[in-house]
Amino acid sequence: MTSQYRVNYHLRAHKRDSLIEFIKGMLLTPFVLHSQPAASQAHQAENAQRYAEIFASIEELIEEHRLFTNQGIPTYSRLAKLVPSIGTFFTPLPLQQAFERVNGQDKISARKHVPPSFNDVRRILNMAQAIAIAPGLKLVTFDGDMTLYADGQNFEEDTELTALLISLLRRQINVAIVTAAGYGDDAPRYENRLSGLLAGFAKAQLTTAEVSRFFVLGGECNFLFRCAILDQNYRLQYVPDKEYSASALRSWTDSQVQQLLDVAEAELRDCVDRMAVSAEILRKPRAVGLVPRAQLTREQLDECALSSQLALLKFQGSPKSQPCDVPIPFCAFNGGNDCWVDIGNKLIGVRILQDMLGSPPAATLHVGDQFLSTGNDLSTRTACCTCWIINPEETQRILTELESILDNTTK
């Protein structure tokens, strides 16, 4: 008999998000009904108007859902009935305005053969979030690999992203990289990964106050560093747990951690044997990972992540829970080229920074590329606003838009 867990895996396509799929479906109707063999300028304008009206209606649904959420009855909203898995919106989303801005750049309404796509809607949602959060933005957190730099690579020097991050720091906005990379309290290893960015700080001659707004949180939520100027060099300084309020969010013992990692390691080894893959199992103080010797398919990595996730939920006595709702929260994720199980998750990491810096969910933005069901950015949606990008170029694009919005906000 096929378990519900395995059935659910087949039902949720990996390039699918419930809200995005809902919006795509709404936009498909005018595309199909009003498609013209030879689209004129007038027809493009009519298409744009139809799409804008749909986004305005969805904007209203989101605002109604926010109202019901504030009253403690989110499931009563029309949007919750249409998209049962919908979460919390910490800000309004000006979707009509965002569509008009994105459509002006990408000419979505001019297309005759390709309807508004998953990526179109994702970029429009990102734009709406940037517009909404800009006036009160206090903290921007970023994933590392495939968000700020290529997978497994280092932050390059003299990039446009460096200038955009420096601009945020100079606007008195805190910036943090929340990454799965776990090197313990070894600051030089993180500095090596971010050498280009730190060189950019030096070249821009950022002040002590400006660089003190830059943080790195490694191992999802386990190792915190703050930037400082030491002997005229821009360095990362390890921040011991006792100097910030992490205990309430990370209340597990080392023996509990090792027990959990034992279970995860055993499950990953079982995956290697079952699928006969060539891979190395790496054990760290607060993580265990499967690193292939030869490239694995996405499905093989998903199998490893989902198998580990279910094994750890069963071990903690909550097979129907989520990884962030158990006694020891964890993150089992497909990293694109490998699979890791980390103790803690980015939800905890973002909350640590929010508590430390006094940044509420509506003033915090997380930018990452792993928002699918086996990704490690997904949990941050519970703590803050998010932007879903797919590569560093898209990060640069949304930060450029954010900078433009911030410039107009301060005028």
CB atoms within 10 A of CB 65: 23
Asked if residues 366 and 375 have their Cβ atoms less than 8 Å apart, the reply is no
Indicate which residue of 17, 120, 143, 377 is catalytic: 143
Give start and end residues of each alpha helix (H) in 276-391.
298-315, 346-357
Reply yes or no on whether 145 is catalytic. yes
Among 198, 194, 192, CA closest to 211: 198
What is the C-alpha separation between 147 and 168, in angstroms, rounded? Answer: 16
H helix intervals, 212-370: 254-275, 298-315, 346-357
List the one residue out of 216, 214, 154 whose CA is nearest residue 182. 216
Here the tokens at position 50 are 């139809």
With both helix axes pointing from N to C terminus, report the angle between 254-275 and 298-315 in degrees, rounded to the nearest 10: 140
56's enclosing H/E stretch is helix 41-70
- Given CA atoms 290, 179, 362, 58 in this order, what sign does their dihedral have? negative
Question: Which stretches of 320-381 are assigned E, i.e. beta strand?
Answer: 330-334, 339-343, 364-368
- CA-based torsion, 83, 89, 95, 99: positive or negative: negative
Instruction: Spot the catalytic one: 17, 106, 120, 145.
Output: 145
CB-CB contact of 377 with 370 (8 Å):
yes
Question: Does 158 participate in catalysis according to the annotation?
Answer: no
Active site residue ranges = 143, 145
